[in-house]
Amino acid sequence: MKTSVVKNTKDTITSAHVKPNSLWKEMKKYKIAYVFMLPAILLISFFMLIPLCHSIIMSFYRWDGITTPTFNGLSNYTHLLTNNHFWKAAFNNLKFLVLFTALTVILGFVFAVAIDRRMKGWRIYKFVFFIPFMLVTAALGILFAQIYEPSHGILNTFLGSIGLESLQQLWLGDSNITLYSIIAVAIWQLSGWTMILYLAAIEGIDNQVHDAATIDGVTEWQRMFHIIAPMVKRITYMIILLQIIASLKTFDLIWVMTKGGPFYASEVLGTILYRTAFEQQQFGYASAVAVLMTIIVMSITLIYLKYSKLSEQE
């Protein structure tokens, strides 16, 4: 008994010492792969890591882009975190995140299941649902700004033509609904993208699973939520993560449609960053906004990744 314990202990110690060597051997084994990865690593360092480090440094300075930067300590961060404008924008980002992520995931999944089940005209729907994703976001923003136009826009004109004048709104002029009008456009644009990702995952499910479900007499709703949904859980986690990051970084659609208005009703962190840097030339303050945005995105991403791993283990 003692001998086996000693032997196991020696094996553990030996394996602990061998691990670094085996890791080095694995790295040497794939050295060609690392050589090919080197250009990508250098590009990422040049275009992402170096600017990030520069932003962190500049966030402690006051700089207008022309004169010599003046060290400002934590003043930029103090001013930012005590500014109600910043917190309103952060709350708008949160609303955008929740609604955009939830609805694009749900709609993308439902569309994908419907197409996979070969509903009538599924080839046309597959193409039509994906078209918005191929459009340039700025062009899409200009298009919907015209659609939402209160006097001659298509939406209010259509509502008036069918006798629903009571539903006509100042879609981009009413601070109570402006953000939701923009979120609706973002959902319309990216639901097709989530649909394609889900469709690829669903088509990978073995047909025998569907055949067994049909024999057991399951309904389409039961098939969707009790068979398909659990089997595409991994892709769901990935889609949610990507949509969270996209919603936290949102800028172009809002800027083109409202520039954060009216009265900052659709302001988000991205529009604060752009306005502070390129309209007010407060590059130090803008760098502080960028650093806080990075921290928020990374924190939410890490929390979500940890949660998703725990869910998979269960």
Output the pTM of the full model.
Answer: 0.84
Task: Give Cα 241 distance to the centre of its chain.
Answer: 6
The token duo for 271 is: 């529009």
pLDDT tens-digit series, residues 66-113: 999 999 999 999 999 999 999 999 999 999 999 999 999 999 999 999
Q: Other C-beta atoms within 10 Å of 34: how many?
A: 11
Confidence class of residue 44 from pLDDT cuts 50, 70 and 90? Answer: confident
**pLDDT given for residue 264 in this prediction:** 93
Higher per-residue confidence, 268 vs 118: 268
Task: Report which secondary-structure segment, H or E, holds 61.
Answer: strand 61-62
How does DSSP classify residue 165?
A: G
Domains located in the chain, CATH noted: 2-58 (no CATH), 75-313 (1.10.3720.10)
What single DSSP character describes residue 166? Answer: G
Does pLDDT of 210 surpass 80?
Answer: yes
How far apart CA 260 and CA 190 sit, in angstroms, is: 21
Residue 30 and residue 36: Cα distance in Å, rounded?
10
274-288 pLDDT, tens digit per residue, is: 999 999 999 999 999
Select the highest-mean-pLDDT range: 126-130, 155-159, 202-206, 294-298: 155-159
Q: Which helix (H) or strand (E) holds 70?
A: strand 70-71
